Structure 1
Amino acid sequence: MQFLVAQQQKNFLVTALSKYSSAVNNMEQTIMLPSLLQDIPMEDHDESKDAADSSHNMYECYILLKSIKNTVESTILPFEDLKLKINAGCDLENEDEANLEKRLYIHVKGLCTVLNTLTNKANTLTSRYKDRIGLSL
């Protein structure tokens, strides 16, 4: 039973990573002039989003999505100091298996949620770019 759950989680994560990578590749192929995205807010004024999200323009979002894709695909984590602090705070020897499985599930679910959100952002950015230059169907 645990193998089946682990396999489903693995497939779910691989699917989320694949969708994100495809969305960003599509965004990169569609957006030939990223400089056109500067000074255009990511969110429309009528959409209710966080103030932090709405402060970014489409160009910043484009650069962020590309950067995250490069990090995900290369598996190079730029925050070595942060990793060391996190690893120092984790005492895996004293954890029981049920707690580790629960923590893994929480992290995989969180990662997939973030990847789905980023995928939606990449798709929205691509769509808005197409609308902006008159390529929408």
Structure 2
Amino acid sequence: MQSLMTQQQTNFLVATMSKYSSAVRNMEQTVMLPSLLQDIPQEVSGEAKDASSQSLYECYTLLKSIKNTVESGGGLPFEDLKRKINSAHELENEDESSLEQLFYIHVKGLCTVLNTLTKKANTLTSRYEDMIGVSS
């Protein structure tokens, strides 16, 4: 029973990663001139402005970079990746019983982040098409 749950969880994660990669691939194929995205704020008028708001170009490069990491299993050297993971969440002296729970929490978090990034890629693609006058 537990292996079936683990397989379903893995299939869900793979499907989420695949959806993200597909959305970014579509974005890359649509955005022929990424330089047009420079200095264009990510938020649409009416949305709350954030002090750390990125331009669409910065969002574009971030989405591509993460896609490369998702598809290759590591766009960063292993030590850099390990350091980023450890600095993001310090796990000290976790006992064996909580490891499974932590695994599911992190898979859920990863899927949530990938779904959010997928939406960003789709939004960026739509905004680019609007900018150049292409109707979908």
TM-score above 0.5, yes or no: yes
| 2:40 is the alignment partner of 1:76 | no
TM-score, L = length of structure 2: 0.86
1:56 paired with 2:63, answer: no
- Tell me the equivalent position of 1:3: 3
Q: Which residue of the partner structure matches residue 104 of structure 1?
A: 103
Q: Give, in angstroms, the shift of residue 57 of structure 1.
A: 0.5
| Corresponding position of 2:30 | 30
Q: Is the 8 A contact 2:37 2:57 kept in 1?
A: yes
Quick one: structure 1 residues 10 and 49, their matched pair in 2 at CA, closer, same or farther if it must change by over 3 Å? farther
Residues 75/36 of structure 1: CA separation in 2 closer, same or farther (3 Å cut): same
Identity across matched positions, percent: 66
Q: Which runs of 5+ in 1 are unaligned?
A: none
- The alignment's TM-score, normalised by the length of structure 1, stands at 0.85
The aligned counterpart of 1:39 is: 39
Contact 2:68 2:75 (8 Å CA) reproduced: no
The equivalent of 2:17 in structure 1 is 17
Structure 2 unpaired stretches of 5+: none
Between the two proteins, the alignment pairs up a number of residues equal to 132
User: In 2, Cα distance between the equivalents of 1:77 and 1:133?
Assistant: 31
Structure 2 contact 74–81 (Cα < 8 Å) conserved: no
* Distance in 2 of aligned mates of 1:11 and 1:82: 24
Local SS of the residue matching 1:64 = helix
Post-superposition shift, 1:11? 1.0
What is the alpha-carbon root mean square deviation over aligned residues? 2.3
Mark the CA change 1:37 to 1:110 in structure 2 (over 3 Å): closer, same or farther: same
**What is the correspondence of 1:106-121 to structure 2 with a 5 Å cutoff?**
106-121=105-120
2: CA distance, partners of 1:106 / 1:49: 30
CA–CA distance in structure 2, aligned partners of residues 68 and 103 of structure 1: 23
- Residue 136 of structure 1 deviates from its aligned partner by 1.9
CA distance in 1, matches of 2:21, 2:131: 23
